[in-house]
């Protein structure tokens, strides 16, 4: 849907939404020094609402940014049986940007290695990550941009807390283990509810989740539902919890690896 098709009130609300998302993404990029002059940023296009929004927001910021950088959308086709050919590629083509579609038979690898009924998300994620990292090196990419937002980051924190016993989440900026790639998450401060509104207005060609019929991450879905219920019962709770991820007091936790508890009183006391 174009802004011409919206009424005056809708245009006003849409402009506020765009401004809010641009501000949140711009602040995250600035806070974590995500994009620098001369960067060649690979925008990973999954076909979900978040990746479309990521590309649109980065293109908008690119037009007014104080530094020059390139955007290169890349879509990985995992060769799943229900995959609709050309949908994401047509969208990327219309942007006028250099774009790439990578075809790798992830589906066959997964079905060969994972027994029926078992969750495939972990293996699928590792395979996709490896392919994207390799592609980034081939395309001389300096930053890899993913579409994870604030709600994803908060849900990941609770997944690690409840199931792994770790205080850990998704970093907004990450150097990969091999030291070859830097991953960034420019939507780190953006709320999913705003991205949903943007996707509805823009009518992005979102790929159905039914493309993958091999399983789903039930633990993540349970965590997301838990957070949504908290928000319904206690207004603003998720914002408060997300704020806590930016305000950590190591001296009041129990990790001796990150804080020196060999404390001494001042002389004379």
Assigned superfamily of 3-252: HUPs (3.40.50.620)
Contacts of 243 (CB under 8 A, 6+ apart): none
Residue 70 is predicted with a pLDDT of 98
Q: Determine contact, residues 74/42, Cβ cutoff 8 Å.
A: yes
Given phi > 0 = left and psi -120 to 50 = alpha, else beta, which region is 179? left
Whether the pLDDT of residue 125 is over 60: the answer is yes
Grade residue 267 by pLDDT with cuts at 50, 70 and 90. confident
- CA proximity to 46, closest of 114, 113, 131, 146: 146
Q: What is the mean pLDDT of residues 63-79?
A: 94
Residue 5 has pLDDT above 70, yes or no: no
> CB of 32 within 8 A of CB of 184?
yes
pLDDT at position 81 is: 82
Share of residues in the chain with pLDDT > 90 (%): 74
Query: What are the distances in angstroms from CA 269 to CA 15, 102, 251?
Result: 60, 67, 21
Task: Note the pLDDT tens digit of each residue in 141-178.
Answer: 999 999 999 999 999 999 999 999 999 999 999 999 88
User: Considering only CA atoms, which of 28, 29, 27 is closest in space to residue 37?
Assistant: 29
Question: Quick check: 132 pLDDT over 90?
Answer: yes
Q: What is the mean pLDDT of the chain?
A: 91
pTM of the model: 0.91
Across 17-33, b (16+ Cβ under 10 Å) vs e yields ebeebbebbbebbeeee
Q: What is the 3-state secondary structure (H, E, C) of 64-116?
A: HCCCCCEEEEEEEECCCCCCCCCHHHHHHHHCCCCCEEEECCHHHHHHHHCCC
Q: Is the pLDDT of residue 262 over 80?
A: yes
Give domain limits for the chain: 3-252
Q: If you ran DSSP here, which 8-state letter would residue 225 be given? A: H
Percent of the chain with pLDDT over 70: 92
């Amino acid at each position: 849907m174009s802004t011409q098709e919206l009424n005056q009130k809708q245009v006003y609300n849409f402009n506020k939404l765009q401004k809010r998302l641009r501000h949140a993404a711009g602040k995250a990029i600035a806070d974590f020094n995500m994009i620098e002059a001369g960067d060649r940023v690979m925008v990973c296009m999954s076909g979900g609402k978040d990746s479309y929004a990521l590309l649109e927001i980065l293109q908008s910021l690119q037009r007014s940014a104080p530094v020059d950088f390139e955007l290169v959308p890349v879509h990985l086709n995992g060769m799943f049986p229900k995959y609709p050919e050309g949908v994401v590629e047509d969208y990327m083509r219309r942007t006028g940007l250099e774009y790439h579609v990578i075809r790798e038979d992830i589906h066959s690898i997964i079905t060969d290695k994972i027994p029926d009924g078992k969750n495939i998300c972990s293996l699928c994620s590792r395979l996709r990550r490896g392919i994207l990292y390799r592609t980034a090196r081939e395309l001389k990419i300096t930053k890899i941009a993913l579409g994870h937002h604030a709600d994803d980051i908060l849900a990941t924190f609770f997944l690690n807390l409840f199931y792994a016993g770790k205080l850990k989440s998704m970093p907004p900026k990450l150097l990969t283990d091999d030291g070859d790639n830097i991953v960034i998450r420019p939507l780190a401060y953006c709320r999913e509810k705003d991205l949903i509104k943007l996707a509805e207005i823009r009518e992005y060609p979102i790929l159905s989740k039914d493309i993958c019929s091999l399983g789903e991450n039930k633990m993540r879905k349970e965590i997301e539902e838990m957070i949504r219920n908290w928000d319904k019962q206690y207004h603003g709770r998720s914002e408060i919890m997300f704020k806590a991820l930016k305000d950590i007091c190591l001296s009041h936790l129990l990790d001796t690896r990150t804080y020196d508890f060999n404390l001494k009183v001042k002389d004379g006391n």
